[in-house]
Structure 1
Amino acid sequence: MKRTTCLMVVACFLVFNVVAQPKYEFRAAWIATVDNIDWPSRGNFSTESQKAEYINLLEMHKRNGLNAVIVQVRPCADAFYPSQYEPWSQWLTGKQGKAPTPYYDPLAFMVEEAHKRGMEFHAWCNPYRAEFAIGKSSIAPNHITRTHPEWFLSYGGTRYFDPGNKEAQNYVVNVIRDIVNRYDVDAIHFDDYFYPYPISGKEFPDKESYEKYGNGLSLADWRRSNTDSIILKLSNAIKEENRLCRFGISPFGIWKNRSQDPEGSDTKSLTNYNELYADIVLWLKSGWIDYVAPQIYFEFGHPRAAYEVLLDWWAKHSYGKHCYIGLGIFKAGTNAAWRDKTQLPRQIQAMRKYPEIQGAIYFSTQSFVKNPMGWNDSLRYNYYKEPAMIPPMPWIDSLRPESPDVVSIKPVDTALRIEVVRTGVQTKKIKCYRLYACYNEEFNNNNFYNAQLIGSRFDSGDSCVFFAPLRNDRKFVRFYVTCLDDENNESKPYPNWPIKLEAVKVDRLGWTLTKEPNAVANN
């Protein structure tokens, strides 16, 4: 039976004149922990201070309209959580292997705090970096470089897992499997560091592995096959542990140059395919990853890699998966182009012209702290003024949750108290309840898509209460209640009201609450 009951109130909420914005848009920032780039601040080894600092960063991002954070929890074969595989990170406690004092689990804490604020948490892991600065990094006795030194190669002052070593690959997969199994992360996120960026005049020292495992492939094809191999293994492991957990990659912004392949972009730069041995297009085509976040840290008109060129290219090469553009807010003020206050706003505007682009990720969090070029204000008061839902991924889960029920509606002072509960037939986990109001004065124009979001409640369990403020101008308002599941699918509006709504007259406010038995919510 269609749930078509509608609530009409002769009243009105405060309405803002805002520029139309996407209802669905991924809006995130990276929080880098390696070398204390973003969190925790260098030398901050206090549990309570770390918690407060992280919460302050979340609150800043929330004010700016972001709905997700991508937090580095495994920067260097170490852990920002208790792990059976890897020691505590030196950037958390000052010494690798040393637990926080007083003890806490940072990953569990960070996930919980993000979800409280209606923000997704993507666990960002570096696949192969194992010792950040050889001879300078803090290395615990049980670190994998000590227990399996044969798995590692040194290059440019950093120690890496040998990507061609299958035992090393399986170890990394087990580390990620453990995270997905034990924590309520919304996604696993990998950045652009697979094979390291090339250093002029220095060859990556994997000759021995190549001679042992090359199997007749060219060196470049063999290296790419190694990267393909671990991506496929990771994809399978993540979905085996939690089919709803997403897998995303943030590659360098260029797959191939057109001079190397007709399908490449009109750019002149190093590439994922040829220098980093990462065939991101293959992973998208094969469905091994759920989203791609190309790092397009270039300005409009860049001579070798123009933002507009790469934006257009990625929009046409995401192969049905989500594409979130990596934006370089950290470049503010670094050259003439990035001293232009319109650079970032124009990039957002250009991005929104492509339906194949579902959002943006900003590098990185500390850049926001200084509000460069006033861009925090641009997001908060303009581009992200209205909250957006994270786009669902139908290939993971396309089933809508059941509409919630409303068990109580009554006036309280100058507000309407609306109590919402999880319906008894609901089988999905609900992460959010949403309340909309429709301001159309024509009785028959009862269209949910004309409604304005006036409130969201996250982390509210099986029920929540909305207080909808009322005004005295006696305009018609119709209310809609929906819920979101963990995969961002929104229910249809309007439950079948489990209670009979009687007409209520409140003389002081001069408004009437009634039930509309014949209204239809278009959806």
Structure 2
Amino acid sequence: MMNYKRILLYTLFGLTILIASPPNEEFRATWVITWDHINRYETPGQNLERVAKIMDDHADANMNAVIFQVRQSGTAYYQSSYEPWGYYSGYQNPGYDPLEVAIEEAHARGMELHAWFNVFQTSSTHNGTPAAEHPEWICRDQSGNPMTSYRAVSPGLEDVRNYSVNVAMEIVRNYDIDGLHLDYVRWNEHTSTNRNSAPLPEQLNRLDGIISQDEIDALNANSSGRYLYDYEHPYSAGVPDGFSTWEKWWRWSVTEFVSTLHDSIQAVKPHVKLSAAVLGKYNWSGWQGYGTVYQDGALWYNEGYLDHIMPMSYHWTSANGFLGMLSADCPDCWELFIQSGIESGRPFTVGPGSYILDDNNVWNNHSEIVNACRSLSWVDGFQFFSYGTWRDKNYFEAAGETFFIEKSKIGK
């Protein structure tokens, strides 16, 4: 466990101020989206400068890791034998290997590089993508209609799981990454009543697991329209053999992928840490991992299928909100469900949605959120969404002079 001194100030009404000295061991990172590290309209030299600046910014904040997106929509931003280059490189080799460069630049500054890998989301239909090469893999609704937008492949198909493991393992084998970070490792949240297109802000929200209240209501009211089936497991055939409910099969299928990938990594490079961005609410409220998109993050953490869990903590914007979500508001909290993982010493780090703090005009709450989370011995650090927001707010140096004023290494 981390070793550092905490000072807590109380009033008669509970915790109001919390001051914590920075720990000696603490994970510190941001999520870096593809479009922030590569621009199809810039030269290779300009894009290389982008990557160098990303790493310099993290170093200025005394961060020690970078979560760098390299697979998105069934396309790659590294040398892949499975999938094509992505939109932000113009669907062609950009003249350098973005992942290789990111690894070199991060390691040169003493930071870890975690390759961010979108799993089942595959909206691109460009030649060579899963959606183009294997349209039969696309999720279907109860009537057997495949998705036509926001496409996702079915975790229930063994071919999909095996393919996804192979794509991920190519990165693990060929690159000197410190971690592989999974995103969209869940069933999709879409229904046949969803809009076929969305404005840019909504598309951004979809990257991090936030959907509107109307869409949450639709998940409950229009379950027949959800894309939770596939050509081998149609709704009309009933619950797959060996399972008592569809829900159990949906959760099993995603867990099967995660556990298989973890075993595969351990067999080749056991030092590479497998992590996942899971929904911020495990099994409570209308929009949650366990019961809405069948993502059992607590199980993965407790059983060691993940080496590190990184909830997307975007629903909360204050110190009290974070403390409630983590521990104080149980049973609507994480701590109640992850005791085995905590006792095993696996990292649990929180993921504040910095862009939401900005939208809500509470940007300065970053400091109180960090200090509040440090009061819990089992919280091991932070990953902020996203790099682009911090860059636009010119916040890296400020963080390095305040709540990240002391350098910290990654523990565990």
Aligning the two structures, in what range does the TM-score lie when normalised by the shorter sequence? 0.7 to 0.9
SS at match of 2:24: coil
Residue 76 of structure 2: aligned partner: 79
Distance 2:88 2:292 in 1: 30
| 1:324, distance to aligned residue in structure 2 (A) | 0.7
Residue deviations 1:414-453 (CA, integer Å, cap 9, x gap): xxxxxxxxxxxxxxxxxxxxxxxxxxxxxxxxxxxxxxxx
| 1:377, distance to aligned residue in structure 2 (A) | 4.7
Distance 1:148 1:341 in 2: 44
Residue 29 of structure 1: aligned partner: 30
Distance 1:156 1:332 in 2: 33
| 1:47, distance to aligned residue in structure 2 (A) | 1.0
| 1:301, distance to aligned residue in structure 2 (A) | 6.7
Question: Structure 2 vs 1, CA of residues 371 and 163 (structure 1 numbering), >3 Å: closer, same or farther?
Answer: same
2:203 matches 1:203 = no
Contact between 2:317 and 2:357, CA under 8 Å: does it hold in 1? no
Distance 2:52 2:115 in 1: 17
| 1:210, distance to aligned residue in structure 2 (A) | 2.6
SS at match of 1:247: strand
Q: 1:49 aligns with which of 46, 49, 53?
A: 46
| 1:131, distance to aligned residue in structure 2 (A) | 2.0
Distance 2:364 2:53 in 1: 27
Matched residue type, 1:270: W
Distance 2:231 2:77 in 1: 33
> Can you give the 5+ residue segments of structure 1 that lack an aligned partner in the other structure?
1-18, 258-267, 393-523
SS at match of 2:289: coil
| 1:332, distance to aligned residue in structure 2 (A) | 3.0
Contact between 2:282 and 2:334, CA under 8 Å: does it hold in 1? no
Question: Structure 2 vs 1, CA of residues 351 and 196 (structure 1 numbering), >3 Å: closer, same or farther?
Answer: same
Residue deviations 1:181-230 (CA, integer Å, cap 9, x gap): 11000011012442112442331151543346811521111111111110
Residue pairs, 1:236-247, within 5 angstroms: 236-247=263-274
Structure 1 segments (4+ residues) deviating >4 Å: none
Residue pairs, 1:442-481, within 5 angstroms: none
Question: Structure 2 vs 1, CA of residues 282 and 104 (structure 1 numbering), >3 Å: closer, same or farther?
Answer: same
Which has more strand, going by share of residues? Answer: 1
| 1:82, distance to aligned residue in structure 2 (A) | 1.2
Contact between 1:191 and 1:250, CA under 8 Å: does it hold in 2? yes
Contact between 1:345 and 1:378, CA under 8 Å: does it hold in 2? no
Question: Structure 2 vs 1, CA of residues 206 and 79 (structure 1 numbering), >3 Å: closer, same or farther?
Answer: same
2:311 matches 1:284 = no
Number of residue pairs matched by the alignment: 342
Q: Give the root-mean-square deviation of aligned CA atoms.
A: 2.2
Distance 2:167 2:363 in 1: 42
Residue 273 of structure 1: aligned partner: 290
2:392 matches 1:365 = no
Which has more helix, going by share of residues? Answer: 2
Residue 128 of structure 1: aligned partner: 120
Scaled by the length of structure 2, the TM-score of the pair is 0.78
Residue pairs, 1:392-411, within 5 angstroms: 392=412
Contact between 1:176 and 1:238, CA under 8 Å: does it hold in 2? no
Question: Structure 2 vs 1, CA of residues 214 and 323 (structure 1 numbering), >3 Å: closer, same or farther?
Answer: same
2:383 matches 1:352 = no
Distance 1:115 1:148 in 2: 37
Contact between 1:192 and 1:252, CA under 8 Å: does it hold in 2? no
Residue 9 of structure 1: aligned partner: none
Residue pairs, 1:80-229, within 5 angstroms: 80-92=77-89, 94=90, 96=91, 98-100=92-94, 103-132=95-124, 139-140=126-127, 142-153=128-139, 154-155=146-147, 157-199=149-191, 200=218, 201=222, 202-206=225-229, 208-211=231-234, 214-217=240-243, 218-229=245-256
Residue 385 of structure 1: aligned partner: 405
Residue pairs, 1:311-326, within 5 angstroms: 311-312=326-327, 313-315=333-335, 317=338, 318-319=341-342, 320=344, 321-326=346-351
Contact between 1:314 and 1:323, CA under 8 Å: does it hold in 2? no
Matched residue type, 2:354: I
| 1:252, distance to aligned residue in structure 2 (A) | 0.7
Percentage identity across paired residues of the two chains = 25
2:296 matches 1:295 = no
> Can you give the 5+ residue segments of structure 2 that lack an aligned partner in the other structure?
1-19, 140-145, 192-217, 328-332
Contact between 1:315 and 1:323, CA under 8 Å: does it hold in 2? no
Greater radius of gyration (CA)? 1
Contact between 1:210 and 1:219, CA under 8 Å: does it hold in 2? no
| 1:45, distance to aligned residue in structure 2 (A) | 4.0
Distance 2:278 2:404 in 1: 25
Distance 1:77 1:289 in 2: 22
Distance 1:122 1:290 in 2: 13
Scaled by the length of structure 1, the TM-score of the pair is 0.62
Q: 2:257 aligns with which of 230, 233, 252?
A: 230
Residue pairs, 1:489-508, within 5 angstroms: none
Residue 515 of structure 1: aligned partner: none
